[in-house]
Amino acid sequence: MRDQPPSSAASPAGAEAVTLESLLGSLVPDASRRRWLVVKTGLAERVISVAEPVVLDTIAADRVFPLPPLVAARLAFNGVRALALDPSGVLFLVDLQELMGVRPASTGGG
């Protein structure tokens, strides 16, 4: 994770940085302070710009749930594979490989 964008907003591999919002779809980019995540999926490397706050957290496995089928069918965001219940609400757990097109989209929860 970086505080500053990579030079020319590109990853060390030369790829252009993209916003998380554009990958998820349907979200207006957040104008708040941003961080840059350098993501490696297999041999590919990509830089994703995300809005603050960014924290490293651990979630117990028993707090992770598959998407209910109707949520999976109607959710406007790409790449969401599961939900985690947190005292502050619900977290979307995003599959980066699916979000970045490395893996085909799943067919939903259940």
Partner 1 sequence: MSLDDVLARRRGEAGTIVDVDEPHLKLVVFSLDGDWYAFHGERIREVLADCPVFFLPGCPPSLEGVINVRGEIESVLLLRSILGYPETADTANSRILIGQGKAMRSGIRVDRVEDVVDLPASRLEAPPHTIPDHLAALVLGLVSFGGRYVSVLDLERLFDDYRAGLR
In terms of DSSP bridges, do strands 34-41 and 44-51 run parallel, antiparallel, or are they unpaired?
antiparallel
Q: Decide whether 13 or 22 has the Cβ nearer to partner 1.
A: 22
> Smallest distance, Å, CB 89 to partner 1?
6
> What's the DSSP call for residue 3?
S
Q: Among 41, 34, 16, which residue's Cα sits nearest to residue 99? A: 41
- The answer to whether 110 contacts partner 1 (rule: CB under 8 A) is yes
Q: Of these, 71, 94, 96, 102, which contacts partner 1 (CB under 8 A)?
A: 71
> What's the DSSP call for residue 102?
S
- The answer to whether 90 contacts partner 1 (rule: CB under 8 A) is yes
Q: Of these, 10, 12, 16, 26, which contacts partner 1 (CB under 8 A)?
A: 26
Q: Give strand ranges (E) for 5-53.
A: 18-19, 34-41, 44-51
- Contacts with partner 1 by CB under 8 A lie at 24, 26-27, 65-66, 68-71, 73-77, 83, 85, 89-90, 110
